[in-house]
Structure 1
């Protein structure tokens, strides 16, 4: 038996609770992992609260991330005792995820924990940090270098935004951080932001084209914010879009794309190919300042705390990252 957050839906309604689960209930997979840490992400909060139809099979263990140690393996790349990371691949949606003390998954979904990276640091980074690095790698592939101009990061006090600001600063970019929490200005400057703007300047309906301001952007917000970000890009600017905190809609026009040659690049972390995942994690291990990471990851909670913290996360009251010690 092991502890897990279990999401259920039946005649009694939709609910999430901490339960003891028999190992025989785990779904199919060729690697059994004893989980050490997971995380609480925006998608996990949606799954736990039922605010959005994230979960597609019931019952479900949420948790799109985990780090742990291999207990059993029939996969050629992994042996008992290996430390591994999982991000995405539909865990927590269609396959039981990381908010549990054990997980059985496909070995093809796992990558090795980078050498010299501590398990708790891997989950302080989690899908949020891994996604931030995928965004930065995309900007680089499109030729965005520090000399090109300012980089805008929206949702800057959140998980993706905080880590994006920290890495971009280390790489020498000038960063404009957008946030709806003015009290986080000092925190964002400590991560490396050069300028702070109020998210309200971007979140309302705007014009098809605005003043050219940014060479590139990392956007985790979507909706009107993403439309205004695109409208304010410089000629041949690049936007890496990875989130929908404001909404899934995109009320824009073709103007930024055909008049300024703006590139809108979508970032999918869930099904990203393994070689790119490994490169992202290699770079995170090399380029993310652990001291700043400790500032970003504000709390370590236990499994029993995830349900209450999900509500806080959805209403924007959480800064940075939440690590879940599944054995706490």
Structure 2
């Protein structure tokens, strides 16, 4: 059975990503479950894979796409049967195993999560890895705050990279929980949009992106950071005593030019958030929480739908910071 997919190759002439017709027989043999994909999405990592700007792809040819949502068509795994609605995030899919920017996928059953009844396949990919990662960040902060006795409204929470997918969902989630959210962005023209998601105020990313002092004025009770480098270092340096920072990205860089001062003098906790290999129980909890708490109107406001072929150009756009919020890919369009 033929199907359409984005396929990355690396011929002698250079790195390529093309919309290609494949046959179901070409799907990876390592996988017990075949899924008819309805929707995928384009995340920052997908942009890196599609453009080749970073060595994300581990083997060639590769179908990119670290997310998908759809229905099982065939299964040799005890947990899944034909007709089950499922979603997938991470596990190296789109990097070392063919991914979701295609109309069909074959994956290991242990990688799949049952799609919550209240979420459509399109909604799930409007959330995608970006929103799921944001939920993991919020859950880490919530656990920390519960131990520390921190209540909503007791201080400001910083969200960096606020114009991106992680940032937008994090703002919506945190504001919905009653927290005062400060959004940091390099696109000041997006201030009204960020406030519509629940941000109480918006600051320019330049306030955080340059080298700063090891300890700064205490401000944040918590931080969701998808930027890394000096931004993360400054966020830690200005977090209040006993506060917490959830770090999940590296848009500014992989380095962390910080000191131990915030951690040993103010008891700040830095939580590293890994969405790729997160334990299944944590994945299920995150998706259940998203299904129950996410503001669907706000989700719709940060989401744009594109077709499968459009995802190639979108890969470059997301790396260049030209994408607001989330891109949903209708693989059948």
TM-score if structure 2 supplies the norm length?
A: 0.97
In 2: Cα distance, 1:306 partner to 1:293 partner: 20
| Aligned match of 1:186 | 192
Query: In the alignment, which of 45, 48, 58 is matched to residue 46 of structure 1?
Result: 48
| Aligned match of 1:262 | 268
| Aligned match of 1:83 | 85
Deviations 1:62-104 (A, max 9, x none): 0000000100001111110011000000000000000000000
| Aligned match of 1:315 | 320
Deviation for aligned residue 1:147: 4.0
Deviation for aligned residue 1:10: 2.7
| Aligned match of 2:59 | 57
Query: In the alignment, which of 120, 123, 136 is matched to residue 121 of structure 1?
Result: 123
Alignment RMSD: 0.8
Q: Is 24-33 or 144-153 further displaced after alignment?
A: 144-153
Specify the SS of the correspondent of 1:52. Answer: coil
| Aligned match of 1:158 | 164
| Aligned match of 1:326 | 331
Specify the SS of the correspondent of 2:166. Answer: helix
| Aligned match of 2:72 | 70
5+ residue gaps, structure 2: none
Specify the SS of the correspondent of 2:15. Answer: strand
| Aligned match of 1:103 | 105
Deviation for aligned residue 1:25: 1.4
In 2: Cα distance, 1:246 partner to 1:91 partner: 24
After the TM superposition, which segments of 4 or more aligned residues of structure 1 sit over 3 Å from their partners?
none
In 2: Cα distance, 1:315 partner to 1:110 partner: 31
Specify the SS of the correspondent of 1:55. Answer: coil
Deviation for aligned residue 1:219: 0.1
Deviation for aligned residue 1:22: 1.7
In 1: Cα distance, 2:33 partner to 2:78 partner: 10
1:92 aligns with 2:94: yes
In 2: Cα distance, 1:188 partner to 1:269 partner: 24
1:273 aligns with 2:274: no
Specify the SS of the correspondent of 2:184. Answer: strand
Specify the SS of the correspondent of 2:139. Answer: helix
| Aligned match of 1:3 | 4
In 2: Cα distance, 1:325 partner to 1:258 partner: 48
TM-score if structure 1 supplies the norm length?
A: 0.98
Deviations 1:223-269 (A, max 9, x none): 11000100111011100000011111111111111111111000000
Deviation for aligned residue 1:9: 1.1
5+ residue gaps, structure 1: none
| Aligned match of 1:145 | 151
